[in-house]
Amino acid sequence: MDNIDPTKVLYIAGAGRSGSTLLGTILGSIHQFCDIGEVHYLLDRGIQLNQLCACQVPLQNCDFWSHVIGNHPTTFDEQTISHLLDLRNSVSRFRHIPLHALNCSMKFQQRTKTYGEFLGQLYSIIRKSTGATVIIDSSKRVHGHVLAQIPNVKLYTLHLVRDSRASAYSWTRQKAYEPTAKQLSYMPTISTHSSSVHWMLDNLSAELLKSKTAHYFFLRYEDFVMNPQYEIKRILTFIEEEPDQLPFVSERDVRLAITHSVSGNPSRFHDGDVHIKEDEVWKIKLSQKDRAIVTFLTWPLLKRYGYI
Ligand SMILES: [Zn+2]
């Protein structure tokens, strides 16, 4: 482990389909900020399946990740990857939230520490090779509880929340995962029941981090898309960074850089000028029945976050 200042990691917490890919890409377009996407999936979707990096090159052929993997002390052979995936799956699932909260199992703590060391080394190599002052990890879900225990990581948790009904609608839409791939693959779809449960657990997991870590910031996606530049400035204040320039060409138009993010929404493949606006299609397309189901299953947090 490197004996230098801890690496600053901005972790986007919360539920899937909440706009974290766009937020991560905007932040990753700031000079000396590095967006690496959903690192939780680096080993399986990234290395094993060799899915596209956001630079549109298969991950194992991408110069950025080739360098990181090549310099990591881990040998990324099949057996080691399988072992690391077992380790990840034994500490990073919804059912592990109580164990992270209670911190009472030595065996569980040891597994978290070992997987955390793997991640800590990864961030350290990325920081060294890019000179980045901030690494953005948009893994969401339970991943942040592992990050919170890595000694050489200074963790900033950005809890991003989107209306559960918008998120549920997004989970029902069939969307091409890798638009440029020869064989089209699609992003997973799940029922409104499942997405409601995921939404509750993901947000509760993020809230739990609030009590465990020193740096926590809450942001509603809807507020972000209304005033993106303003909210990015608030995030910069939160992470104690003052970059010379922001990637905005106007309040709601942003110039996205090519990043090397892993997994996530296919919008990560977009670079260049993008106009930011709220996607409100769900208000028309989500059936009354599904809307009622999602509202019923998620109402305590919908109310808490000011959506109802
Ligand atoms: Zn790449």
* Ion ligand 1: protein residues whose beta carbon lies under 5 Å: 53, 55, 62, 64, 260
CA 121 to ligand 1 center in whole angstroms: 19
Please, are residues 68 and 126 in contact by the beta-carbon 8 Å criterion?
yes
Strands 7-13 and 134-137: parallel
CA 61 to ligand 1 center in whole angstroms: 8
CA 129 to ligand 1 center in whole angstroms: 14
CA 42 to ligand 1 center in whole angstroms: 12
Question: Residue 2: what pLDDT?
Answer: 47
CA 16 from chain centre, in angstroms, equals 8
Question: Residue 268: what pLDDT?
Answer: 83
CA 64 to ligand 1 center in whole angstroms: 6
What burial class does residue 97 get, using C-beta atoms within 10 Å of its C-beta: 0-12 exposed, 13-18 middle, 19+ buried? middle
CA 28 to ligand 1 center in whole angstroms: 13
CA 261 to ligand 1 center in whole angstroms: 7
CA 130 to ligand 1 center in whole angstroms: 13
Between CA 135 and CA 121 the distance in angstroms is 13
Handedness of CA 177, 228, 165, 10 (dihedral sign): positive
Please, are residues 126 and 10 in contact by the beta-carbon 8 Å criterion?
no
Question: Residue 181: what pLDDT?
Answer: 60
CA 220 to ligand 1 center in whole angstroms: 29
Question: Residue 1: what pLDDT?
Answer: 47
Between CA 24 and CA 57 the distance in angstroms is 19
| Token duo for residue 240 | 């104690």
Question: Residue 69: what pLDDT?
Answer: 97
Helix axes 288-304, 164-172, angle to 10 degrees: 140
CA 197 to ligand 1 center in whole angstroms: 33
Q: Is 141 left (phi over 0), alpha (psi -120 to 50) or beta?
A: left
- Whole-model pTM: value is 0.94
Report helix, strand or coil for 216. strand
| Token duo for residue 257 | 């850089």
Question: Residue 4: what pLDDT?
Answer: 72
What are the pLDDT tens digits along the chain (308 aa)?
445 789 999 999 999 999 999 999 999 999 999 999 999 999 999 999 999 999 999 999 999 999 999 999 999 999 999 999 999 999 999 999 999 988 889 999 999 999 999 999 999 999 999 999 999 999 998 999 999 999 999 999 999 999 999 999 999 987 766 666 666 677 778 999 999 999 999 999 999 999 888 999 999 999 999 999 999 999 999 999 999 999 999 989 999 999 999 987 887 888 899 999 988 999 999 999 999 999 999 999 999 999 99
7-304 maps to which CATH number?
3.40.50
Question: Residue 3: what pLDDT?
Answer: 53
| Residues facing 254 on adjacent strands | 248, 274
Which positions ≥6 away from 48 have C-beta within 8 Å?
Answer: 81
The residue extents of the domains of the chain are: 7-304
